[in-house]
Amino acid sequence: MNTRMDDAANKRDLKRHYLIYYLRVFNRVNGEVLGHLVDITTKGVMIMRDSPIEVGGNYSMRLRWRNSAGKLQLADFEGVCRWSRPDINPDFYGAGFAFTSVSQEHVESIRELIHDLAISGGGEEE
C-alpha cells in the first residue's frame, strides 16, 4: 500500500525533529498504541507501526513523556493521516499525520519535547 493525499495542504513547511527515543503515540479513545513517534513538528507527526493505517482517517492522539525534570508531560491532539506506506523494513509502515486540532498549551509541550529529546539537541521551529 503506497498511498498519499496529494494536495497543497500536504506540503511540509517546518523542519522535522527526530527524537532520541521512539515515544509511543496512543489512541485517546481506546488507549491502544497507534505507533511509535519518528519525527515531530508543531504541525504534525510521523509514526512507525506494524500495519497500514487509513489515509484520510481522523485520529485522537496522545503523547506521554517525562521532561528533563522528570515530570510527566501530556500532549493531546487531533490529526488526519496524510500518507501511509511500507517502510524499508517490510515489517513496518510509516504514516504521516497533520494536526487538525491542538491547544496552545500542547504546542508548548511539543516544543519542550523537541527541546528535551531531539537528536539535534533541540532548537527552534523554522
Architecture of domain 3-8+15-117: Beta Barrel (2.40)
Q: Which residue has the higher pLDDT, 92 or 12?
A: 92
Contact assessment for residue 78 and residue 27, using Cβ atoms and an 8 Å cutoff: no
Asked if residue 24 has pLDDT above 60, the reply is yes
Q: Which pLDDT score, from 0 to 100, does residue 60 have?
A: 95
- pLDDT-derived band of residue 125, with 50, 70 and 90 as boundaries? very low
Q: What is the pLDDT at residue 67?
A: 76
pLDDT band, residue 62 (cuts 50/70/90)? very high
pLDDT band, residue 70 (cuts 50/70/90): confident
Contact 81, 98 (CB under 8 A): no
Instruction: Flag whether the pTM goes above 0.85.
Output: no
- Strands (DSSP E) contained in 41-92 are 44-49, 58-66, 72-86
In sequence order, the 6+-apart residues with CB closer than 8 A to the CB of 17 are 39, 40, 41, 114, 118, 119, 120, 123
The CA distance from 26 to 87, in Å, is: 20
